[in-house]
């Protein structure tokens, strides 16, 4: 079985057939670079996707997809059964670096030479796949293939003639990655954020490798999901070790704190990005709230409030303290 990855432009809502998927006939893939986007003439795909486009005037029209490729000798178009697809108003950044449709999968070698000939072993009347490479090292490896051998290829689909598909084997190595997101603590709250077409930054440890599927297995320790310009960070294990410091009481707002003074608290964002514990290096053991008291009388109202760490403050008391602090600020 082979898979294909590309993007097409869908100007209108495609028909919904067999109560299963939308059929986009005679679609043309696009070659995308950082500067240009041009259609690849000569390629015709019949794309079957479960993603609805919608019929509104401002509906997204760029469809990025990945799915099984069925290329038959008796049919002029290549059928694609999408296993992942999504519509976008603009082509995503990743697909802007795909000059041709990417073909991945196993092919059975029929003949070898300057151009190797192969076919899809999972299709009865498969077209002939003729592949080569511009890299001399890869070309030498292709020359060592034996007829009847089944090989895994990752190549660009450069040309599609009647019964023949030309592939250019890529010089770089590609592999798949399976991310394991644990259900502990904060990571469990990110499950609903994983959607097709959304870019996510995941940090983790490589815990395994599937040789037959060319797939790395990564256990995630932190996830960063960007929605617009607001990043949402979450980490499963955040180890905070701050010695000899009093925790901030919930519900209190620090008024008049000097931000120019060095802070001995580590932010959660730094812990997520660095995945390290928070320790005090070269900082005083006194709490941050008392640093201004060493220089003189503090203007902070809460310096005069007795510690209530052993007593839970009610909502009424918190609002009363906030009201008095506001009056002191306005009169100052």
State residue 173's pLDDT score. Answer: 61
pLDDT grade for 274, boundaries at 50, 70 and 90: very low
List the alpha helices (DSSP H) in 119-267.
136-143
Tens-place pLDDT, residues 291-326: 444 444 555 555 555 555 556 678 788 888 888 888
pLDDT of 287 strictly over 60: no
pLDDT of 263 strictly over 70: no
The 3-state DSSP class for residue 274 equals helix
State residue 81's pLDDT score. Answer: 93
State residue 262's pLDDT score. Answer: 38
Tens-place pLDDT, residues 141-193: 787 888 888 888 889 988 888 788 889 887 656 678 888 887 776 777 777 77
- Nearest Cα to Cα of residue 49 among 21, 11, 91: 21
* Region at 271 (left for phi over 0; alpha for psi -120 to 50; beta for the rest): alpha
List the alpha helices (DSSP H) in the chain.
136-143, 268-274, 315-331
Q: How many CA atoms lie within 13 A of 313 on its CB side?
A: 17
Tens-place pLDDT, residues 61-93: 899 999 999 999 888 889 999 988 889 988 887
Strands 116-119 and 102-111: antiparallel
Has this prediction a pTM greater than 0.75? no
Higher local confidence (pLDDT), 35 or 72: 72
State residue 271's pLDDT score. Answer: 33
pLDDT grade for 58, boundaries at 50, 70 and 90: confident
């Amino acid at each position: 079985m082979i898979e294909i990855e590309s993007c097409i432009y869908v100007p209108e809502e495609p028909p919904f057939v067999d109560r299963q998927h939308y059929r986009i006939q005679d679609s043309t893939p696009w070659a995308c670079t950082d500067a240009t986007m041009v259609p690849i003439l000569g390629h015709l795909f019949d794309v079957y996707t479960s993603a609805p486009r919608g019929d509104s005037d401002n509906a997204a029209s760029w469809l990025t997809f990945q799915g099984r490729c069925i290329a038959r000798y008796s049919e002029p178009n290549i059928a694609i059964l999408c296993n992942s697809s999504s519509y976008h108003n603009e082509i995503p950044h990743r697909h802007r670096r795909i000059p041709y449709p990417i073909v991945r999968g196993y092919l059975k070698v029929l003949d070898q030479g300057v151009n190797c000939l192969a076919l899809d072993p999972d299709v009865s009347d498969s077209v002939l796949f003729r592949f080569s490479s511009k890299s001399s090292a890869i070309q030498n490896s292709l020359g060592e293939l034996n007829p009847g051998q089944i090989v895994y290829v990752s190549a660009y689909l450069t040309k599609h003639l009647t019964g023949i598909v030309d592939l250019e084997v890529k010089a770089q190595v590609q592999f798949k990655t399976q991310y394991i997101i644990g259900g502990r603590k904060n990571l469990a709250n990110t499950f609903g954020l994983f959607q097709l077409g959304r870019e996510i930054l995941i940090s983790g440890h490589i815990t395994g490798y599937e040789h037959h599927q060319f797939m790395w297995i990564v256990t995630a320790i932190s996830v960063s999901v960007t929605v617009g310009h607001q990043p949402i960070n979450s980490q499963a294990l955040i180890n905070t070790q701050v010695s000899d410091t009093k925790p901030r009481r919930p519900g209190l707002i620090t008024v008049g704190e000097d931000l120019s003074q060095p802070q001995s608290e580590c932010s959660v964002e730094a812990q997520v990005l660095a995945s390290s514990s928070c320790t005090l290096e070269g900082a005083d053991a006194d709490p941050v709230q008392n640093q201004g008291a060493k220089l003189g009388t503090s203007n902070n109202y809460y310096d005069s409030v007795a510690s209530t760490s052993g007593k839970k403050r009610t909502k009424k008391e918190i609002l009363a303290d906030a009201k008095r602090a506001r009056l002191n600020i306005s009169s100052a």
